[in-house]
Copies of this chain bind each other. A is one copy, B any other.
Amino acid sequence: MATIKDIAQAAGVSLATVSRVINDGPKVGKETRKRVKRIMEEMGYRPNANARALVTKRSASLGVVLAELHDPFFAMLAHGVETVTRKNNVQILLSAGSIEQDTERRAIEILLEHRVEAMVVHSKALDDQTLIDFAKQIPGFVLINRYIPEIANRCVWLDNVTGGRLMAEYAIGQGHKSLAVISSQYRIDDPNHRLQGIREAMKAAGIDLPESMIEYASPDQEGGELAMQNLLATGAKFTSVLAYNDAMASGAMTMLQDHGISVPDDVSVVGYDDVLLAKYCRPKLTTLRYPIEMMAAKAAELALKYASAIQPEEGLTFKYTPTIVKRDSLTRV
Is A76 touching B70 in the complex (CB atoms < 8 A)? yes
Q: Is the interface of A mostly helix, strand, loop or mixed?
A: helix
Residue positions of A touching B, CB distance < 8 A: 1, 44, 46-51, 53-54, 59, 61, 68-72, 74-76, 78-79, 82, 86, 91-96, 109-110, 112-115, 137, 221, 250, 254, 257, 276-277, 279-282, 293
Complex Cα gap A114–B277 (Å): 36
Is A70 touching B75 in the complex (CB atoms < 8 A)? yes
User: Which residue of B has the minimal Cβ distance to A111?
Assistant: B91
Complex Cα gap A53–B61 (Å): 15
Is B94 touching A92 in the complex (CB atoms < 8 A)? yes
Contact among B44, B75, B86 with A137 in the assembled complex (CB-CB below 8 Å): B44
- Residues of B contacting A78 with CB < 8 Å? 69-70, 75, 78, 94
> By CB atoms of chain B within 10 A, which of A61, A70, A96 has the most?
A70
- Nearest-neighbour CB distance to chain B for A284, whole angstroms, equals 9
- Nearest-neighbour CB distance to chain B for A290, whole angstroms, equals 14
User: Which residue of B has the minimal Cβ distance to A246?
Assistant: B280
User: If the complex has contacts A276-B72, A280-B250, are A96 and B113 also in contact, measured as CB distance less than 8 A?
Assistant: no
- Residues of B contacting A112 with CB < 8 Å? 46
Is B221 touching A280 in the complex (CB atoms < 8 A)? yes
Complex Cα gap A293–B69 (Å): 11
- Nearest-neighbour CB distance to chain B for A262, whole angstroms, equals 12
Contact among B1, B75, B250 with A72 in the assembled complex (CB-CB below 8 Å): B75
User: Which residue of B has the minimal Cβ distance to A53?
Assistant: B50
Complex Cα gap A249–B47 (Å): 46
Complex Cα gap A137–B71 (Å): 35
User: Which residue of B has the minimal Cβ distance to A75?
Assistant: B75
Chosen A-B contacts, 27 in total, with CB atoms closer than 8 Å, are A1-B115, A46-B113, A47-B113, A48-B113, A49-B114, A50-B50, A50-B53, A50-B59, A50-B115, A51-B54, A61-B93, A68-B79, A70-B75, A70-B76, A70-B79, A72-B72, A72-B276, A75-B75, A91-B95, A92-B93, A92-B94, A92-B95, A93-B94, A221-B279, A276-B277, A277-B277, A281-B281
Is A115 touching B48 in the complex (CB atoms < 8 A)? yes
- Residues of B contacting A113 with CB < 8 Å? 46-49
- Nearest-neighbour CB distance to chain B for A136, whole angstroms, equals 11
- Nearest-neighbour CB distance to chain B for A287, whole angstroms, equals 13
Complex Cα gap A72–B279 (Å): 14
Listed from nearest, the 9 A-B pairs whose CB atoms lie closest are A75-B75, A70-B79, A282-B282, A69-B79, A92-B94, A50-B53, A49-B114, A50-B50, A277-B280
